[in-house]
Amino acid sequence: MKIAITTSSFARYSEEPLDLLREFGAEIVLNDRGRTLTEDEAAKFLADCDGVVAGTEPLTRKVMENCPNLKVISRCGAGMDSVDRAAAEDLGIAVRNTPDAPTVAVAELTVGLMLSLLRQVAPMDRDIRSGVWKKRMGNLLFGKKVGIVGFGRIGHAVAERLQAFGVSLAYADPYVEDPAYERRELDELMGWADVITLHCAKLGGGTSLLDRGRLSRMRPGGVILNIARGGLIDEDALCGLLTAGHLAGAALDVYSHEPYDGPLKHLDSVILTPHIGSYAREARIIMETETVKNLISAFQDGTVHA
C-alpha cells in the first residue's frame, strides 16, 4: 500500500506518525518540494497512491480522477476547503480531518496577535532593529469589545481565553446558539466591536465574507484578525481602510494567495505570519499522529478496502 504525505514539514518533531504508517505496512512517499503542491503536481504525485496525508494542496475532482487507486484522504488540519468532498463521495474516497488537534494552538496564536496589535509590539521591534528608539503608545485589551466571527471549536476556545482579560464578548455564527455568550448578526457585530477575529469557514464562489462594505462598518480605530481561511477578507479593501486610518491594525495568518506578496507587506500596522496557526510543536505532533490514525482506521474499519 502506497501512502503519500504532502505536507512538507511532516514528522519534523516526532517520528511517531511515520512509525505508525510503517507498522501498518505502508510504503511512504514524501513531498520534498518544501511547499504546497499545485493541482497538477498533486495529480502527478498521488497518481498511484492508495491514501494521502493531505496538506492544503487542491484536491479537486481532476486530481482524484487522475488517482484510480486513491481510497482515503486524511487532512492534517481542520479545514476542508481544499478538498472537493462531493467528488470524493462520488468516487468512493473516504475523507477525514483533525478538527480538535489545532484548536489550542490557533486560539493561543489569536490572543497573542491581538495583544501584539494593540500594544504595537511588531512595529517597535522593527524600529529597534533599524536603529530607531521610539516608544509607541498602545492600547489595553481590557475593556475592549471583541467580536468573534465563527463560534465553533476554535472560536469558543478564543472566547474562553479572552474572558481573563476583562473584555466584552459577542459572536456571529448562524449555526451556533450558545446561551453563555451574546450572539449578534454579522453586520451588527462589525459595527459593535473594537476587535474582530475570524474563525469561520470560507464562502463558496470566491466571495469575501468581509468586503469593503462590511469592513467599513467597523468602528474607527478598530483592529481585525484572520487566523481562519484565506479569502475571508477582501485584502485590497482592508489595505485601503488601514492606509486611510479608519482601521488601526490587522493580523493575518492566511491569505487569498499563498505565499502572500501583496501591499499589506508595506504597512507598519499589519502583522503577517505564514499560515502557522497549528504550528505549535505539541499541537503539531498530536495533529499529525491523529491524521495517520484516521487514515489507518479508514482502511481497518471497513470504510474502504486496501
Residue 258 bears catalytic tag:
yes
Active-site residue among 229, 235, 284, 290?
Answer: 229
Active-site residue among 183, 217, 219, 275?
Answer: 275
Q: Is the Cα torsion angle 288, 291, 295, 298 positive or negative in sign?
A: positive
Active-site residue among 15, 65, 182, 258?
Answer: 258
Instruction: Please give the C-alpha separations between residue 253 and each of 156, 183, 215, 295, in angstroms, as whole numbers.
Output: 19, 25, 18, 27
In a 10 Å sphere around its CB, with 0-12 CB exposed, 13-18 middle and 19+ buried, how is residue 233 labelled? buried
In a 10 Å sphere around its CB, with 0-12 CB exposed, 13-18 middle and 19+ buried, how is residue 166 labelled? exposed
State CA 275 to chain mean position distance: 7
- The C-alpha cell that represents 150 in the structure block: 465563527
Residue 160 bears catalytic tag:
no
Q: How far is residue 127's CA from residue 132's CA, in Å, rounded to a whole number?
A: 5
Q: Is the Cα torsion angle 75, 80, 84, 89 positive or negative in sign?
A: positive
Residue with cell 496557526: 277
In a 10 Å sphere around its CB, with 0-12 CB exposed, 13-18 middle and 19+ buried, how is residue 125 labelled? exposed
Among all residues, which ones are annotated catalytic? 229, 258, 275
